[in-house]
Structure formats: structure tokens, C-alpha cells
Structure 1
Amino acid sequence: MTARLFAVIIGLSTVPIVVADLLQAPSDAPQPATGSPTPTAKPVATAAPRPPVVLTDEARRIHAAALLFDGHNDLPGEIRSKGDSSFDKLDISKPQPQLQTDIPRLKQGGLGAQFWSAYVPSSTIKTGGATRYGLEQIDLVHRMVRRYPDAFELALTADDIVRIRASGKIASLIGVEGGHAIENSLGVLRTFHDLGVRYITLTHSDTLDWADSATDEARHGGLTEFGEQVVLEMNRRGMLVDISHVSADTMRDVLRVTRSPVIASHSSAYALAEHPRNVPDDILREIKPNGGVIMVNFYSGFVDAQSAIISREAQIRSRELRATEKDEAAVDEAMKKWFDDHPRPRGTVHTVVDHIDHIVKVAGIDHVGIGSDFDGVDLLPEQLEDVSCFPYITQELLNRGYSEPDIHKILGANALRALRQAESVARDWKN
């Protein structure tokens, strides 16, 4: 697993530890204070295995008719790390088994619109260059769209998404993952918008000067005054505020301040898998009046209850190690060994749809979507191994009695509506 994947899954820290310590039995060290719910490491009952989902012609028809709008795919980061940011070295028009995403499988999966992640490592907070890194990843998405014009077209508005989807191409949007990329500058935020960015994930793994992260020590109790300015500036520009990765207190502050619907581009339900990256029920209840959308993450560590417990422990251990160990290869090797000794259940497509079910029950059918996190995670549920597998979600929703209109909402109509509402708020602001 790459250092990028470890950073996404388990975060960074400030407590000393040595590699040898990491390879020992699980620690009783407490989780960092985050302003998020305190996990309870209770035993997880093992449910009877559920049978594989079998695709039917009816599900295929419903899936093909829907707009499938995925909130988060980390392919640009993988192109950078595995292909030196070169589509000559990593040509996604051809099958790429080392990835979870390529154009042939995108077509099989029926993607209509995709937020491509311009991920910026939290390490750039200390090393510098966060804005440059973000600009390079934004540029990479633009180059990808130009390189494969028969597959992709850049979308800047909800109307663009509808038009591009109707043409048979994948509407390609840009989301910046990590608010540290603006380097505390509203001018940089505005520049990102001008370059096509339509959401910013307020934090990544580390707490910022202006917002608390879900996986770091809380310093502000949510947003600072500048953090509130960031949210309002995004509202003013018609950008979606992404509350994935932030602490629960930051989520609450965002919902208090924002004038537009928010999204969680790749998060699941905390009530089913107690990981701080997931969204607690009190926030889900507030999403409904806000008009926002929780886009369910497929990562096993965020959807399977037992995997969430293991992933929380891994988060603590990785953060402790990275505080003193500067050799990324040593960190990777230590964590690989730790995960080998602590295998995580993968879950199945059923597990992911359980999270959709829960969010529907708490927030409502209009407030849930899909945020796969493909090519950003190392462990995925059975029947959701790559981007070709999206139809299994549709089939399982159909199996559970969801109507065709409601399935369309979950697959993408809800996210499209939220973006359209954010655009409307921005227009009214200017008037």
C-alpha cells in the first residue's frame, strides 16, 4: 500500500513511538480528541453471511437510465504516484489492473458524472507547497479530460452535467481534498473556483488553523472566524462545502453558517461503523433541513463495524509512528506488518447498502448519494472492487424494495440537485 493510501485511511499524529513498538500487540492508547463521537470498542456480533447479489435485466435497465454521479474518486492521485502524472506511462484508455479505475471499467459501471479528487497531502502543511500541489492536481484533471475527449468533458455546472451525460460522455468535475491547499487565502480559494473546482473538503487528516479534522486533535471546537469566511466564500461562488474528514463539531459549525446545501463527498454512517470519519446521527438529522447529501464511502474500514474498530487502532498507531519516523518506507513497512497481523473484514455490497438504508431512515431519501473513494483506499467490499461494480448497488437497492425514482435519487439526482441549489444561492448573492 502506498504512503498516499495510508494517509487517507489512517491519518497522521504527534505522539512518539518506534517501529518495534508498532509491531507489538494492540495499544490501549486513547484516540485523539477530535470533537467527533467517542468510539466504543464493543464486540461486534458476526452476522450470517448474505448471498452475493445477482444482477437482473431490470436493475441493468434502471442503472442505465439513471445519472450515476460519484462524489469522490482518487484516480488523479494514483496517476501522480504510479504514473509520474503521465498518461503516456499510465494510459487509462486501456485496462489498468493496478488501479480501481480505467475508462473501460468506467463504461461498464455506467458512470455519468464524477468528482475527481485533487488530493493534497496533509504533509504539505509542514513542508510547504500545498497550493502548488493542488494546482498540479487540478491541472492533471484538465489534462486527463483533454487527453480522452471521447470519454470525458469538464463540467462546471449542473446543466453541464445533464448535457454531457446525454452526449454519452462522463461529466468530469474537480473537488480539492484538503482545505490546507488554499494556504489560508480566500484569493487562492477564488482562483481554484476559476479553474473549475466545485467543492473543497475543508480538512484532510490534520486540523488546520481554521478547522478541526476528524482524525487529529481538536483545537478550535469546530470552525474559527476565518473558517466561517471560507464557508461563506464557497457559498458565494456556488461551490459545495464538503464535510468529509472534518470533526463533528466542524460539521455542526458548517451547518450553522452555510447558506447552501453541503455534501459529505465520501463518508458513511457512524451509527453502523464507529469511525470518526463517518457522520453521526445528529448531523444526519441536520442535513435534511440544510438540503445536503451524504455520499456513502465504500472503504471497508468505514462501512464494516469490525473493520472500523481495527482502522481506528491503526489510525492511532500510524499517527504515533509518523511523529518521529521520517522514513515513509519504514512507516509503510511497519503498517503493512500491522495490518497483516490484524486482518480487516471486507464487508460486502450489502454492508454499503446498509449505510444507505440508515441515512435514508435518519435524514431522508433526498439526502443520500454515492461517494465511492475508489483508488483512494486499499480494502473494498465484495462485489464493489472497482468502478465496474456500481450496478450491484442498484440491484441491492431494488432487492430491498426501493422504487426506480428513489434509486435514481440515490445514484445521482440528489447530488445534482444539491449542486444546482448551490448555484442558485450564488446567483441570488450576486443579485
Structure 2
Amino acid sequence: MYWCVTLLNVLSGFIICSADINREKALRLMGETPLIDGHNDLPWQMRQLFNNELEKMDLNTLEKTHTNIPKIKTGRLSAQFWAAYVPCESQYKDAVRQTVEQIDVVHRLCRLYPNDLMFATSSDDILSAFQQNKTASLIGVEGGHSIDSSPGTLRMFYNLGVRYLTLTHSCNTPWADNWLVDTGKDTSENNGLSGFGKELIREMNRLGMLIDLAHVSEKVMNLALELSIAPVIFSHSSAYEVCKSKRNVPDDILRKVAEKKGIVMVNFYNDYVTCQKTANLSNVADHFDHIKKVAGHEIIGFGGDYDGVSRVPEGLEDVSKYPDLVAELLRRGWTDTEVKAALGDNLLRVFREVEKVRDSMNTTKPYEVPIPYADVVNPCRTMYGYPPQGNAGSMINLGLHLPVVTLLLHGTILWLF
């Protein structure tokens, strides 16, 4: 009995020691390479909890969210794409205004907490923030409905610091189909991407905006991978073969992402990790392992989706837990090079290539042709800028949708504006 107890104690001590070594190594690697996460919905929590009145909260003490400054520091979170998200219900209504307000939240958070957060718009900014021990704060707009089918709005978002656009959220836009099309819950309206949608891909390449394929249909994934000159990203999606949710990425797409030298940033939402209500840290690591096996460690990143989901895995309860996941990858035999690639080297490579493509297209003119009016006609939209006749704006819609009155007097149509 004595020897059994002694042996158990020795084995227990070995396991604890081994775990400590992996975590210590994880922290060392995270001190050498910035951890870059592709998606965090803290700005939406600011809307939900405080109606964007940031003076009503303190990010140092806020406990209602997955994210606060102490958790960021403990988690060694070096760079974060904050989501400027507004719901699909805002499409055709006030999506642009609401999105601008969410962009404004990120700017104001950086001004309120300058010792901890640094506004960033480039790969160089991420490294600069890392050297200053601050969290580089980038913006991704989650959902193509936020640009209201307007290339001009897309360009202005870029000027405000937005560096990726998720082509759809959980609704179709007039130019792209969302992931629910593949579940049968939505109907394809664009055969993937419309002609206008394809032009937006090229315009994003010209701008230097990352194309995010989280939330899109598989047809859109394939079309975007084919059309884009620059690498693409999945800011918060996992591996379909591990959890067969249509929000995840099938193996054939993983291989195409690798060919394109893009990145898939693994989502932590239980429903996309195990396709069940419960999950744990090891289940998330399974997605990392699968993607590495199928397409290589060069396309993997972190896309936690914190503060945008209702359920997170045991062991990954908030942003402070990243080192534990990194330690688990090390325990599974990931090399230092592979871990550093997933932490941030992969995203930095993708970002630099997108910037390189942008610079190579600096003589390319902006895309200026508006989406066909028939594709976006609705009661909240005027047709300023469209010709009164032709395919851009059909006269048959005017009486229903515009502040225009027609009078028939002696066989003559009078248009009163």
C-alpha cells in the first residue's frame, strides 16, 4: 500500500510538473509572438449593456463580459479585431448609422484606455503595439448588410479604420448569400455572389481590406477564393469535419485556403466546437489539430468569438484562458514554430500580403458603378443618382417606393418631385 501511494504521488507530481512546463512555455512563446484574435464582440456588449455610453462602465472592473482589461492582460491578448456588428434587422434601415456608431465605440475605447489599448490599422501597428505591451485594436465589420450595397460606404469604413468585412452575417445581402442557405433555412438569392458582389471582392483587394468568409455559404467561399487576388480569412470559424455545422469550414475549402495562403481562425462557440451545448478546451484543440492535419499549420489562427456567444467551453471561460489552450497544443506535440504561426505569424503574413496587393493596385480606379436599383428597391431607399429609366431604376417601382406623385392629365404624365 505504501508503495502504491508513493507511486501515485510521483505520477501526480509528474503530471502537474508537465502541465506547468507546458504553460510556462506557452507564456514564453506568447511573449515572443503576438496572440492575434480574429473576432470579439465587446463593442456589441457596450451597445447592449450601456447603449454605448462608455462613461457608465469601467473596463478595468467590468465583470459582465468575457473581456475586460485584467482578463486581456492575463490572457496575453496582444491584438484583437473588435467586431463592429449590427443585427440583420437593420438591413435596408439604419445599418450604416448603427455600424458607424460601433466603429466609434472602438475608437473611444482606445482613447479611454490609452495605456492598454492602441488603435491599429496595419500589420506594422500590431507589432508596434506588441512592443509597447498594449493590445492592438483593429476593427472588422461583421456583415455585408452594414455597407448598404454601397462601394462608397465600404471605402469610408476603410478610412475609419475597418480592416475586414464579413461578407454576410446570418442573412443574405442583395449581392451575397449567407451560410443559412446551405442549411435550407434561407433561399439563395445570388447564386453565391451577384455581379456586384464580385466587383466588391475586387474593390476590397484594391483597398487592402481583408475578405472575411465566416458566415457565408459554401458557394460564396469558393467564388471568393477564386476571385480574390489576396488571401482571405475566416475570422471565427472552425472545422466542419469535427463539428458538422454549416458555420464551419469543410476540408476541401481548408485546402483551398491553404493554396491561397489564407487563414482560418478557430471559433470557441460550443455549438460550432462540438455541435452540442457543452464543450471543453480539449474539444477546441481538436479543431486546431484537424486543420493542421488537413491543410497545414500555416492557415490556423484564433477566433474566439468572445462576447458574441452565449456558451463557451469549459476551460475557455473568457479571454484570460488563451495560455491554457496554447499549453494544450504544446502538450499535443505542436512545435514552437507551429504554435507561433497560430498565435500571430499566420495572420501577420496574410495581412502583409493583403497590404502588398493593395499597394500593387494603387493605380487602379475605385469601383463606382452602383448596384442595380432593382436589386435594392425598398420603401426606405430613394433613387438619387439613378437614371429615371433603364435597368438601374425601373419606373414601375417609383409610385410604390419614392416620394413621387404621378398625375394623368389629358393623356400626359406629369412627374411631381
Whether TM-score is above 0.5 comes out as yes
Please point out which of 289, 294, 297 is paired with 1:365: 297
What is the alpha-carbon distance in structure 1 between the residues aligned to residue 287 and residue 70 of structure 2?
Answer: 28
- How much has 1:70 moved relative to structure 2? 0.2
RMSD of equivalent CA atoms:
1.4
- How much has 1:54 moved relative to structure 2? 4.1
Secondary structure of residue in 2 paired with 1:112: strand
What is the alpha-carbon distance in structure 2 between the residues aligned to residue 430 and residue 58 of structure 1?
Answer: 43
Please point out which of 81, 89, 113 is paired with 1:123: 89
1:97 paired residue number: 63
What is the alpha-carbon distance in structure 1 between the residues aligned to residue 114 and residue 35 of structure 2?
Answer: 19
- How much has 1:413 moved relative to structure 2? 1.0
1:139 paired residue number: 104
What is the alpha-carbon distance in structure 2 between the residues aligned to residue 175 and residue 279 of structure 1?
Answer: 20
- How much has 1:60 moved relative to structure 2? 2.3
Secondary structure of residue in 1 paired with 2:305: coil
1:112 paired residue number: 78
2:39 paired residue number: 72
1:398 paired to 2:330: yes
Question: TM-score, normalization: structure 2?
Answer: 0.80
Measured against aligned partners, the alpha-carbon deviations of 1:249-289 in whole angstroms (never above 9, x if no partner) come to 11001011100000000000111111111111111110011
Secondary structure of residue in 1 paired with 2:88: coil
What is the alpha-carbon distance in structure 2 between the residues aligned to residue 185 and residue 201 of structure 1?
Answer: 15
1:171 paired residue number: 136
Please point out which of 126, 142, 152 is paired with 2:117: 152
Please point out which of 190, 200, 204 is paired with 2:165: 200
What is the alpha-carbon distance in structure 2 between the residues aligned to residue 134 and residue 107 of structure 1?
Answer: 28
- How much has 1:245 moved relative to structure 2? 0.3
Map 1:258-269 to 2 at 5 A.
258-269=228-239
1:335 paired residue number: none
Secondary structure of residue in 2 paired with 1:88: helix
Q: Which amino acid aligns with 1:279?
A: V
Secondary structure of residue in 1 paired with 2:333: coil
What is the alpha-carbon distance in structure 2 between the residues aligned to residue 291 and residue 239 of structure 1?
Answer: 16
Secondary structure of residue in 1 paired with 2:334: coil
2:341 paired residue number: 409
Measured against aligned partners, the alpha-carbon deviations of 1:189-239 in whole angstroms (never above 9, x if no partner) come to 000000000000000000111000002322222111111111111110111
Secondary structure of residue in 1 paired with 2:283: helix
**Structure 2 unaligned residues grouped into runs of 5+:** 1-14, 181-185, 364-417
Aligned residue pairs total 341
1:270 paired to 2:278: no
1:349 paired to 2:319: no
What is the alpha-carbon distance in structure 1 between the residues aligned to residue 302 and residue 63 of structure 2?
Answer: 23
Measured against aligned partners, the alpha-carbon deviations of 1:363-387 in whole angstroms (never above 9, x if no partner) come to 2111010000000001011110000
What is the alpha-carbon distance in structure 2 between the residues aligned to residue 54 and residue 133 of structure 1?
Answer: 45
2:356 paired residue number: 424
Larger Rg computed on CA atoms = 2
**Structure 1 unaligned residues grouped into runs of 5+:** 1-50, 308-343
Secondary structure of residue in 1 paired with 2:173: coil
What is the alpha-carbon distance in structure 1 between the residues aligned to residue 350 and residue 228 of structure 2?
Answer: 13
1:35 paired residue number: none
- How much has 1:120 moved relative to structure 2? 1.6
1:241 paired to 2:211: yes
Map 1:179-198 to 2 at 5 A.
179-198=144-163
What is the alpha-carbon distance in structure 1 between the residues aligned to residue 51 and residue 99 of structure 2?
Answer: 15
- How much has 1:362 moved relative to structure 2? 1.4
2:30 paired residue number: 63
1:293 paired to 2:263: yes
2:406 paired residue number: none
Secondary structure of residue in 1 paired with 2:176: coil
- How much has 1:393 moved relative to structure 2? 1.3
What is the alpha-carbon distance in structure 1 between the residues aligned to residue 336 and residue 100 of structure 2?
Answer: 40
What is the alpha-carbon distance in structure 2 between the residues aligned to residue 120 and residue 84 of structure 1?
Answer: 13
Secondary structure of residue in 2 paired with 1:117: strand
Secondary structure of residue in 1 paired with 2:54: coil
1:82 paired to 2:60: no
Calculate percent identity across the aligned residue pairs: 45
What is the alpha-carbon distance in structure 2 between the residues aligned to residue 208 and residue 58 of structure 1?
Answer: 45
1:48 paired residue number: none
Question: TM-score, normalization: structure 1?
Answer: 0.77
What is the alpha-carbon distance in structure 2 between the residues aligned to residue 276 and residue 198 of structure 1?
Answer: 25
What is the alpha-carbon distance in structure 2 between the residues aligned to residue 77 and residue 300 of structure 1?
Answer: 20
- How much has 1:86 moved relative to structure 2? 1.9
Q: Which amino acid aligns with 1:302?
A: Y
